[in-house]
């Protein structure tokens, strides 16, 4: 593994003692991200062209995180079919899905297996379409996601880009804004939708898992996302006034729309905390040429009020953060606003943008975190050990580090499988930020203050 350990610390630096192995990964593979994007399209069936294990194990991860039934179909490649290529299986799979599920869209992702044997998915899909000339087929979108390059973050980006490339259709301009949320929770998407509603800004989310991965218990079960972005909305995205990618790592579709259809594209930062949310609100209000509404100003006032109430408990506490790059940078800036110090930040993804963003945040807040990019939880653990970390923020996989080092952990990101509510955790915008301030501060109080509220000190 090419550890991209970029340390901004000049002294007391812990050196990672491994070069090759990944131990306790802090990333997943491309199809995983692509599938998550597809689950936000109404009536879409994701199909992984590969072995059954790919779809099954991804469903397993997604089910236990979102606590929803997740359907991802597979071309079920096995030895015989690998030898002769995957064309037969892919054609059969498309036919089965079309006939059995009646989907509004089929998103086909490749895997390491089918990329290596060289299946040309676009050609096979064309063949399938040609063999049904008079039928009303749903759009079928190929997404190239070899699992030996990039990560789930790239897979998400590629899926959104493929959707737009294959569907976006320039017509008359509308007054909407495209939002590419990135891999955030259903509640986060809902938080952004609420803000846009308050700003009276019509939007197209590409894609929208706010309902499909956080659905009510009714009297039925659907096999395809019953809610989400409609195929027609993706078509219409070519006519919006701008595209805003909340995650900087999910902006390829925005860049495509800008180049092909002249839709202005901006990307990031993820609206976490006060300043990042300010930037987001600022951008939208400028687009709309309006003042920030009173209700949003009040929310902003409330989060600052909360931070003021909390500041003595959080000041100079050392935090380690890990997970997807934009979530980690967003949260890093946020904990700085709380007066905390992001001492170690880690992502499994190789990303120079991440490193640049962290440099900026470090400079702006006069902190010097150890920045781990393209690293794993082993590397994180080594750093946590020698930095006197007081709080860990990241997914459930970090719980064992927290236990070993006897520090509290705030579970956040993907996957969170050992606590309830992953689909309801929101960190975006002022309102969710207020909850976050309380949660973090209460963790500090529970762990570093005694029953009567006195700080626990070693005398």
Partner 1 sequence: MGHIQKNKPKSHLSLQNIQNAGTNEINIDVPDSIIKTLEARKNHICIKKGDNSNPSCNKASIPGTVTQRSCVYGGARVVLMPITDAIHLVHGPIGCASCTWDIRGSRSSSDDLYKNGFSTNLEEKDIVFGGEKKLLETIIELNKLYNPAAVFVYATCVVGLIGDDLKSVARKAERLTKCRVIPVQSEGFRAVNKSLGHQLACDAMLDYLIGTDEPETITKYDINIVGEFNVAGDLWGIKPLFEKIGVNVSCAITGDSKVEDIARAHRAKLNVVQCQKSSNHLAMEMEKKYGIPFLKVNFFGIEETSNSLRDVAQFFNNPEMIRKTEELIKSETERLRAEIIKYKERLAGKRVAVYVGGNKAWSLIKAFEEIEMEVIMTGTQNGLLEDYERIRETVKDGTLVVDDANSMELARLLKKYRPDLIVSGAKEKYLSLKLGIPFCDFNHDRITSFAGFQGFINFAKEVDRAVSSPVWNLTPKNYSGVKENAK
Q: How far is the CB of 288 from partner 1 (least distance, A)?
A: 37
Q: How far is the CB of 49 from partner 1 (least distance, A)?
A: 9
> What does the DSSP 8-state code read for residue 326?
H
Q: Which of residues 151-180 bind partner 1 (CB under 8 A)?
A: 151
Beta strand pairing call for 370-373 and 4-7 = antiparallel
Among the listed residues 122, 120, 232, 110, the one whose alpha carbon sits nearest the alpha carbon of residue 167 = 232
Of these, 58, 164, 189, 391, which contacts partner 1 (CB under 8 A)?
58
Binding piece for partner 1, criterion CB under 8 A, among 13-21, 119-127, 291-299, 444-452 = 13-21
Q: Which two tokens stand for residue 332?
A: 């890093």
Q: Which of residues 293-352 bind partner 1 (CB under 8 A)?
A: 348
Site size toward partner 1, by CB under 8 A: 83
Assign 373 to helix, strand or coil.
Answer: strand
Q: How far is the CB of 19 from partner 1 (least distance, A)?
A: 7
Among the listed residues 358, 352, 356, the one whose alpha carbon sits nearest the alpha carbon of residue 322 = 358
Assign 69 to helix, strand or coil.
Answer: coil
Q: How far is the CB of 418 from partner 1 (least distance, A)?
A: 10
Asked whether position 95 contacts partner 1 by CB under 8 A, the answer is yes
Write the Ramachandran bin of 66: left for phi over 0, alpha for psi from -120 to 50, otherwise beta. Answer: alpha
Asked whether position 77 contacts partner 1 by CB under 8 A, the answer is yes
Asked whether position 7 contacts partner 1 by CB under 8 A, the answer is no
Of these, 96, 122, 174, 447, which contacts partner 1 (CB under 8 A)?
96
Of these, 5, 89, 240, 329, which contacts partner 1 (CB under 8 A)?
89
Contact by Cβ (8 Å): 342, 368 = no
Asked whether position 134 contacts partner 1 by CB under 8 A, the answer is no
Assign 2 to helix, strand or coil.
Answer: coil
Burial-class residue 279 by CB neighbours within 10 Å (0-12, 13-18, 19+): middle
Assign 224 to helix, strand or coil.
Answer: coil
Cβ-Cβ contacts under 8 Å for 157 (sequence gap 6 or more): 33, 249, 250, 251, 252, 253
Rounded to an integer, what distance in angstroms lies between the CA atom of residue 241 and that of residue 160?
18
Of these, 36, 40, 42, 55, which contacts partner 1 (CB under 8 A)?
55
Q: Of 187 and 338, which CB lies nearer to partner 1 in the complex structure?
A: 187
Asked whether position 60 contacts partner 1 by CB under 8 A, the answer is yes
Q: Of 57 and 315, which CB lies nearer to partner 1 in the complex structure?
A: 57
Asked whether position 141 contacts partner 1 by CB under 8 A, the answer is no
Q: For partner 1, what does the binding mask look like between residues 366 and 395, x meaning CB under 8 A? A: ------------------------------
Q: Of 114 and 237, which CB lies nearer to partner 1 in the complex structure?
A: 114
Asked whether position 116 contacts partner 1 by CB under 8 A, the answer is yes
Binding piece for partner 1, criterion CB under 8 A, among 109-117, 156-164, 293-301, 332-340 = 109-117
Asked whether position 52 contacts partner 1 by CB under 8 A, the answer is yes
> What does the DSSP 8-state code read for residue 41?
B
> What does the DSSP 8-state code read for residue 293?
P
Of these, 4, 7, 8, 67, which contacts partner 1 (CB under 8 A)?
67
Of these, 5, 6, 31, 337, which contacts partner 1 (CB under 8 A)?
31
| Number of Cα atoms under 13 Å in the Cβ half of residue 125 | 20
| Number of Cα atoms under 13 Å in the Cβ half of residue 20 | 0
Return the number of other C-beta atoms located less than 10 Å from residue 225's C-beta.
29
Of these, 35, 39, 112, 440, which contacts partner 1 (CB under 8 A)?
112
Q: How far is the CB of 425 from partner 1 (least distance, A)?
A: 18
Rounded to an integer, what distance in angstroms lies between the CA atom of residue 223 and that of residue 44?
9
> What does the DSSP 8-state code read for residue 198?
H
Q: Of 51 and 243, which CB lies nearer to partner 1 in the complex structure?
A: 51
């Amino acid at each position: 593994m090419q550890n991209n350990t970029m340390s901004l610390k000049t002294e007391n630096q812990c050196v990672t003692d491994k070069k090759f192995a990944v131990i306790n990964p802090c990333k997943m593979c491309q199809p995983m991200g692509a599938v998550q994007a597809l689950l936000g399209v109404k009536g879409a069936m994701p199909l992984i062209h590969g072995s059954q294990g790919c779809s099954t194990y991804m469903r397993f991860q997604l089910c236990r995180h979102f606590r929803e039934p997740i359907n991802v179909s597979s071309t079920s490649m096995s030895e015989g079919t690998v030898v002769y290529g995957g064309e037969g299986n892919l054609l059969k799979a498309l036919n089965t899905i079309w006939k059995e599920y009646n989907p509004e869209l089929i998103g086909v992702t490749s895997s390491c297996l089918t990329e290596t044997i060289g299946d040309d998915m676009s050609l096979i899909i064309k063949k399938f379409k040609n063999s049904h000339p008079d039928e009303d087929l749903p759009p079928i979108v190929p997404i190239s996601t070899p699992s030996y390059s990039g990560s789930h973050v790239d897979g998400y980006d590629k899926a959104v880009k493929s959707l737009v490339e294959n569907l976006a259709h320039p017509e008359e301009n509308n007054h909407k804004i495209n939002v590419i949320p990135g891999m955030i929770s259903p509640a986060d998407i809902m938080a952004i939708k609420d803000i846009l509603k308050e700003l009276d800004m019509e939007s197209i989310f590409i894609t929208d898992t706010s309902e499909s991965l956080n659905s009510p218990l009714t009297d039925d079960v659907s096999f395809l996302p019953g809610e989400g972005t409609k195929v027609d909305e993706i078509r219409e995205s070519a006519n919006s006034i701008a595209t805003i990618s909340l995650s900087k790592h999910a902006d390829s579709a925005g860049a495509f729309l800008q180049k092909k259809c002249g839709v202005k594209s901006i990307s990031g930062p993820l609206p976490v905390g006060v300043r990042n949310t300010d930037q987001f609100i600022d951008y939208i209000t400028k687009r709309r040429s309006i003042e920030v509404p009173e209700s949003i100003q009040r929310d902003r006032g409330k989060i600052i009020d909360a931070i003021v109430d909390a500041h003595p408990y959080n000041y100079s506490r050392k935090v380690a953060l890990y997970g997807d790059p934009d979530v980690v940078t967003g949260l890093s800036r946020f904990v700085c606003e709380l007066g905390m110090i992001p001492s170690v930040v880690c992502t499994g993804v190789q990303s120079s943008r991440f490193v640049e963003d962290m440099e900026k945040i470090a400079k702006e807040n006069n902190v010097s975190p150890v920045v781990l990019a393209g690293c794993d939880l082993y590397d994180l653990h080594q750093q946590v050990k020698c930095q006197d970390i007081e709080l860990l923020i990241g997914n459930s996989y970090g719980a064992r580090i927290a236990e070993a080092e006897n520090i509290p952990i705030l579970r956040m990101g993907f996957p969170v499988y050992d606590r309830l509510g992953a689909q309801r955790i929101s960190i975006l915008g002022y309102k969710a930020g207020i909850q976050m301030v309380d949660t973090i501060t209460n963790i500090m109080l529970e762990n570093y203050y005694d029953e009567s509220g006195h700080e626990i000190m070693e005398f």
